Amino acid sequence: MSVASPQALPRTGFVLLAALGLFWGLNWPGMKIALAELPVWWFRSMSVAAGAIGLLAIAALTHGRMRLARPDIAPMILCAVFNILGWHLFTGYGVALMPAGRASIIAFTMPVWAALFSSLLLGEAMTRYKYAGLAMGVTGLAILIGPDLVVLQEAPLGASFMLCAALSWAFGTVLFKKFDWQAPVAALVGWQLVVGFLVITPGAILMEPVPDFSGLSPQAWIALAYLFTIPMVFCYWAYFNVVHMFPAAIAAIGTLAVPIVGVYSSALILGEPVGWAEFVSMSLICAALASVLILPGLRRKASDSRAIR
């Protein structure tokens, strides 16, 4: 796979980032609805199974193959340990030990760690725009989670699990960027989800009773239909395509919109309160995204214009 140069970042990547912000944001109220009626581990098992089936089908239909070349297999399994197993297992425990909505905000400290890992492992430069974007993004998340710091103090183990989930996802993102893959993105991510399914499902069998699907409400079925198709199939495919197109730190910082959409969509769908903290946080995160995704391009265009003159 070849990687686009910084001077020729495709517009498709920006469209995919915008879609991720919306659809992964809507994922959080959907999860709250589903997890009110399903055990966490069985929900995780079904989610990765649905994602694997969908992504491998996309690989077969669009690329004519879903098998991996032999050189891709070991790196794929390694990436799956961090992107799928680490993320789903740590968040499974974390969400069980603290409020799910606030747990998700800790998870989205991921861009900070991805920026550090990409600098160490990939040699990506930490520009002033990245530093500014990280600073504003983390400040925005801190304002959002501020009223619940007492909850974190009361549930340090849950917060620790969520921090481990963020670290795992960040490291997996950078690993995925580091390897030179031969297979298409859909196949690579689909097989990572298969690895996750093979580990998470035995855990579900051992830890929780099989859920009674006949007792699920219509709202839960609607939530599951959305979660299993859009976040688990489209969003996984879109995210790792963005990681392929953009520097790893920029791709990670681009996900900062997700918790903001999650908060506001939860307010609309679930009636959760929204106040000044959410508005200030949204403003800071929007500024962070502009600093990383828009301002460098504008400055480059201005420099080119001056050079032509």
**Structural tokens at position 61:** 């239909």
In the block, tokens 């990383």 appear at: 292
Q: Tell me the CA distances in angstroms from 295 to 134, 280, 288, 291, 298, one per residue in order.
A: 14, 21, 10, 5, 5
pLDDT in tens, 24-73: 888 888 888 888 898 888 998 999 999 999 999 999 998 777 889 899 99
Domain locations in the chain?
16-302
How many other CB atoms are there within 10 angstroms of residue 92's CB atom? Answer: 22
> For the chain, what percent of residues have pLDDT higher than 70?
80
Helix (H, G, I), strand (E, B) or coil at 266: helix
pTM over 0.85, yes/no: no
Cβ–Cβ < 8 Å for 285, 256: yes
Closest to 249 (Cα-Cα) out of 71, 145, 151, 110? 110
pLDDT in tens, 109-158: 787 788 788 888 888 777 777 777 778 777 776 776 665 555 555 556 77
First to last CA, the chain: 37
DSSP state of 233: I
